[in-house]
Structure 1
Amino acid sequence: MMSAPDNYHFNLPIFHYTVIGAPGILAMSIFSFSKPVATACFSAVVLIVSGFVSKETMAAQGSQNITGPDSVDSLLEKDKRRLRRYRDNWDLHKSQIYADTGLKFGFDYNALGLWASGSLGETDASSGAFRAFGRWDLSGEQVGERGSMVFKFEHRHAYTDVPPFNFGSETGYAGLLNTVYSDQGFRTSTLYWRQEFDRNRGLAFFGFLDVTDYTDIFAFGSPWQSFGNMAFESGSGTIGGLPDGAFGFMLGKMLTPNIYVVGGMVDANADATDISQGFQTFFEQFETFKSFDIGYTSGRDELFLNNWHVSFWQIDKREQAGRPSGWGVSFSASSQVKEVWQPFFRGGWSDGGGASYDASVSIGFGYVPASKNYLLGVGLNWASPSEEEYGDDVRNQWTSELFYRFAFSPNTELTLSMQILLNPALDNGRDSIVLPGLRFRGAF
């Protein structure tokens, strides 16, 4: 988290107190109507995250953002670091807007193309996405007590008949070759109130959330800028639902200098292309996705670099969508070695809920040089496709992905990738498929 400027004009203290209590009040109302097991588990989560922790144990700690690489905070910080040495008039103008109003914002355009060496249908897929994102600090001038409005609006559009999001089934692959490059049009991925509390040891979101911003976070888990395949992202393909633009709340806190917890509950029927229905589906249908993470890090400023955590999730049966209930657990371990190597070991198991895989294990590493002008990632995954989703006779499949991302200007990045699919589960007549890819990001 970054400290707010002292001279921004907006200061609305009423938000500070109202929004801190809102998630807890909402949670108590919700839990009173929930199933007994869910009520007990999530009541415990709320109590834990609310913070029966000695303040003395945390007094020496700095600020930290307990969210993933695709959260708005992470995007804004990443772009600021990259442009620090290359500030132009536009960047200086944005900095002045933040100093005057507390509004920090950015835009980017992203594009992805994939090509398959073999397929049951189409042999190529490509699409693009324009994103506008930002954070508007509206209350709490003190660092660690700030309240902000966070937003991320997108337009996702396909260049080909089949976008990368749907390309997996075309190739006979069980799973998603990329989780975000679709043809959905305008959508609201996030629109929520963000509240820091307890001197920046805690963080709360309330509004329309993207659960991948805080569930099973992973340094290389961004389909926009790191691995593209779902097998290397949240839950390694074993988490069902993973809604975004979903009405609900999240609470996260550093319990000690090294241990953190994050829990949340959102609408399982969320539709990011029409969030106006979010209140109705949440309160009337009350079919929810719930998650809880507990993790260890060597220091809160090294949350992404040295991180070991376990994630638990549960999703209710969705009557109108015809989707089953389910639950599961995933794990992740990653450490920085000699300041440039980042090996990881991740995986998960699921029981229903619409997850692509019943079980999945991923290993690999990232290489980040001191200059940070490029990133190399290598990953290998084994997965057992869900019998509930794909049938009893599907075979286990292996996935490997290699990507190389480099900046060829302060504002633009290019990523070359290669996915190799062995034993694609939905095409017994093919043993392997090679998928080269090309991805672009321009930020401004």
Structure 2
Amino acid sequence: MRAPLIALAFCATAAVAHAQTPASQPADEAELSPYPELLETPLSTEGDMAEDERLAKAASNKPELQPWFAFKQRFEDRTGISFGGSYGVLAQSYSASLVDQDWAAGHKFTFNASAALLDRGRPNALYFDLTVEDRRPIFGSERAPLAAGVLAGSGVPTAATWGDFELGVTQAYLRQTLAGGRFQYTIGKVFAPNFVNPYPFFDDNRQFLNLAFSTSPTIAVPLRGAGAVAAVYPGTGSVYIKGGVFTANSNDTGWTVDDFFSRNERFYFVEVGSTSFARRPIPIHARGPMDANNFHVTFWYRDPLERRGPQDITRPQDEAYGVAFNINQMAGENIMWFVRGGLGTGGFAKVNLTVGMGYRPPERQADLFGLGVGWSDPDDAQLPQQLPVNLRDQTTLETFYRFALTPNVALTPAYQLIVNPSLNPNEDALSVFSIRARLAF
């Protein structure tokens, strides 16, 4: 009974907030709102398009594809529909591996579209967002980088979202901002890690690759499936509260609404934090809680998971729960530092702590340099069978530099040094060299 009650309360709150929103408020007032979009993240549909547009403008001294972007803007002005996409390729090599695969390569194709359904041009407009993706190994690689990094011995994936699934709809949801910017919600098929403990550098399409530097490896967060998220500003200051519920049964390209309502297997979270408005003209910025100066604490819980069939060796699993935190701050106009950590059960790690920084050269605003160090204590209690040895604590260092070759093409070499790889007790260190290329259109 919990899921229908949650859905009913969620819709009732949205209706009340909608009624309180001035219908005559002009669109340009939204740009002056002191409340940033807490749910607009780089891996969401609208966030992905906005970040590509921002990077293209930052490198706009070169003219490639600029007529194309101008056409898309005219199309959106006429129809209320915006669209865009990207194509990325990632290759990784491993100095050692538990299996006979010392390299891996994969690709990502992404198409995003967003349509204003109601109140177009107003701050309280209702949008429908859609993302279609395809991810798989390429160049004869036996496995995609997501799996290959773990099989090389790393206790956390060396390429957080570079997995393997065929073309399909990965996100499809409604979103809206109401009550003068104080209340925001998203409901539908969503990518849950977008909303759980995010920060400016968790996007492995453009920034760090290792999961140690994205959503905390202590959080047993599901991936793609039915869910709802809401965020509210309870006062006039910078404090916000954000919460959500998702099905714990992910499906990359399928629809999991039946699981959400018929199975008591869900993931819940509540986040409380303080956010600064990232709209200011600073070199490193993002939107919502992923802004220049942010502090938050995330509490989460996942229901127990039942076995889904005789071939399901990953279940049953006990309930999982934990807490995570994030602090990221600007140091001057070109450097952002961060400290993150968490405690939990059911994830890749029981405990983790991560520190790092990003630097954007003043003369090359679309470039980015990143450096991070993370420590994690693996959670071997979630493995399908007991191992003959205890898994070691793992330390991960990653550094990268993203070169903006044109306003629409970026090339990012990266290096990861994994000390005491948790899943490979025969190696003291694992080196991972990566090269990532991405075209935005």
Is TM > 0.5 for Structure 1 vs Structure 2? yes
Q: Which residue of 1 aligns with 2:26?
A: none
For normalisation by structure 1, the TM-score amounts to: 0.84
Give the Cα separation in 2 of the matches to 1:114 and 1:241: 25
**What's the secondary structure of 1:438's corresponding residue?**
strand
What displacement does 1:223 show? 1.3
Whether 2:341 is the aligned partner of 1:344: answer no
Cα distance, 1:47 vs structure 2: 7.8
- How far apart are residue 30 of structure 1 and its match? 4.1
2:161 maps to: 180
Measured after TM superposition, the shift of residue 204 of structure 1 is 0.7
SS in 1 for 2:181: coil
For the pair 1:110 / 2:72, whether they are aligned, the reply is no
2:354 counterpart residue number: 362
Distance in 1 separating the partners of 2:185 and 2:48: 18
2:369 alignment counterpart: 376
Distance 1:28 1:284, change over 3 A: closer
Superposition map of 1:90-169 within 5 A: 90-121=68-99, 122-141=101-120, 143-159=122-138, 160-169=141-150
1:81 CA displacement: 2.3
Q: In structure 2, what is the Cα distance between the partners aligned to 1:174 and 1:338?
A: 35
- Structure 1: tracts of 5 or more residues without a match: 1-24, 33-42
Q: What CA distance in whole angstroms lies between the structure 1 residues aligned with 2:259 and 2:222? A: 16
Query: Against the structure 1 CA distance between its residues 168 and 402, is the aligned structure 2 distance closer, same or farther, given a 3 Å change threshold?
Result: same
From 238, 252, 264, give the equivalent of 1:272: 252
Gaps of 5+ in 2: 22-28, 281-288, 309-314
| Matched residue, 2:381 | 388
| Equivalence for 1:10 | none
- Determine if contact 2:219/2:345 at 8 Å carries over to the other structure: no
Q: Which amino acid aligns with 2:378?
A: P
SS of equivalent to 1:336: strand
In structure 1, C-alpha distance between the alignment counterparts of 2:112 and 2:275, rounded to whole Å: 28
Aligned to 2:211: 230
The more displaced of 161-170 and 58-67 is 58-67
In the other structure, the counterpart of 1:71 is: 44
Greater mean deviation of Cα atoms: 94-103 or 172-181? 172-181
Aligned-pair distance for 1:97? 1.1
Distance in structure 2 (CA, Å) of the matches to 1:193 and 1:243:
18
Q: Contact conserved, 1:63 with 1:300, CA < 8 A, in 2? A: no
Deviates more, 1:165-174 or 1:409-418: 165-174
8 A Cα contact 2:158 2:211, kept in partner: yes
Aligned counterparts of 1:318 and 1:258: Cα–Cα separation in 2 = 37
Mapping 1:393-432, distance limit 5 Å: 393-432=390-429
Number of the residue aligned with 1:9: none
Identity %: 26
Partner of 1:258: 238
- CA deviation after TM superposition for structure 1 residue 138, in Å: 1.4
How far is the alpha carbon of 1:134 from its aligned partner? 2.0
Contact 2:354 / 2:372 at 8 angstroms: preserved in 1?
A: yes
Q: Which moved more, 1:177-186 or 1:296-305?
A: 296-305
Q: Does 1:220 align with 2:201?
A: yes
Matching residue of 1:319: 306
CA contact (8 A) 1:415 1:438 kept: yes
> What residue in structure 2 maps to residue 437 of structure 1?
434
Residue identity matched to 2:56: L
Partner of 2:186 in structure 1? 205
Task: Judge which range, 266-275 or 326-335, deviates more.
Answer: 266-275
Distance in 1, Cα, partners of 2:82 & 2:378 = 42
Shift of residue 27, structure 1, vs aligned partner? 5.9
1:425/1:64 Cα in 2 relative to 1: closer, same or farther (>3 Å)?
Answer: same
| Secondary structure, counterpart of 1:167 in structure 2 | helix
Q: Is the 8 A contact 2:150 2:158 kept in 1?
A: no
Q: Please state if 1:282 is matched with 2:282.
A: no
Q: Quick one: distance in 2 between partners of 1:253 and 1:95? A: 30
Q: Is the 8 A contact 2:278 2:292 kept in 1?
A: no
Residue in structure 1 matching 2:294, options 286, 300, 307: 307
Report SS of the residue matched to 2:180.
coil
Quote the offset at 1:129 in angstroms. 1.1
Aligned with 2:207: secondary structure? coil
Q: Which amino acid aligns with 1:139?
A: L
SS at 2:49 equivalent: helix
Number of paired residues? 399
Q: Which amino acid aligns with 2:246?
A: V
Task: Please give the alpha-carbon distance, in whole angstroms, between the structure 1 residues aligned to 2:53 and 2:269.
Answer: 31
Matches within 5 A, 1:288-299: 288-299=266-277
Measure how far apart 1:228 and its partner are. 0.7
Q: What is the RMSD of the two structures over their aligned residues, measured on CA atoms?
A: 2.7
SS of 1:299's partner is coil
